[in-house]
Amino acid sequence: MKRENDQDLKTDLELIGEVRKGNRSSFSELVKRHQRGMLRLSMRFMKDMDLAQDVVQDSFIKAYEKLNLFEGRASFKSWLYQITVNTARNKLRENRYDFSNIDDVHLSVSATAENGMVHAAVSEIIQTEVDRLPFKQKTALVLRVYEDMSFAEIAEVMECPYDTAKANYRHALLKLKETFETQSELRKWTEDVGGFFMEMNAKFAEAE
């Protein structure tokens, strides 16, 4: 049985305190804890593993350089995700993508989101429609449904009020529902698509 070391038992805030005192190895522990989630989030925007890894590396560098600005009012994870989203957006701009193309990036459907939809075709249809959402609405949807973050955390990541985070998620949900209700070729998938929306509605209701 693998034994936990002292670093494993420390909270993010404790590790941050050690980093501020000059212990760089504690930041390595923070990287180990959060790099997988940051890479997953970055891939939803970049579509390319090398670019996604660049975003994560740049984000950790920025986090290290700005660590004294972290006040602890939100979780360290939310703060890191905020940096990651902003870095991904800037990276897309640097690569001369038109801003509207940010809305066309690939969004994979996670195992959690696939509860209630058993056909691969449904996953592909939902993915296509989610990719068409405006950037802020899609960001709220990604963080809520695929990253399972609270609206308070989403507001921190998106640097917006709590109600705005919820509104972006609600608008995304309404746009998707409208699409599936108005496109006749999608009606045959009503039951499976309904399962997807039940999943998202449940996440929205939790914050009501």
pLDDT digits (tens, 9 = 90+) for 118-140: 345 556 667 778 778 888 998 99
What's the pLDDT band for 9 if we cut at 50, 70, 90?
confident
The neighbour count for residue 33, using CB atoms within 10 Å, is 16
What's the pLDDT band for 202 if we cut at 50, 70, 90?
low
Write down the pLDDT at residue 70. Answer: 92
The three-class DSSP label of residue 39 is: helix
Question: Which range (20-34, 73-87, 123-137, 145-159) has the least confidence?
Answer: 123-137
> Contact, 168 vs 157, CB < 8 A?
no
Q: Which domains does the chain have, with CATH numbers?
A: 12-101 (1.10.1740.10), 107-205 (1.10.10.10)
Most confidently modeled range among 54-58, 73-77, 137-141 = 54-58
Q: How many CA atoms lie within 13 A of 193 on its CB side?
A: 22
Q: Which two tokens stand for residue 28?
A: 């390595």
Model pTM above 0.85: no
CA distances from 55 to 36, 52, 72, 95 (A): 12, 5, 23, 12
DSSP string covering 41-76: HHHHHH-SHHHHHHHHHHHHHHHHHTGGG--SSS-H
pLDDT digits (tens, 9 = 90+) for 99-120: 434 444 343 434 444 344 334 5
The three-class DSSP label of residue 23 is: coil
From 144, 147, 105, 109, select the one nearest 127 (Cα to Cα).
109
118-150 burial, b if ≥16 CB within 10 A, otherwise e? Answer: eeeebbebbeebbeebebbbbbbbbbbbbbebb
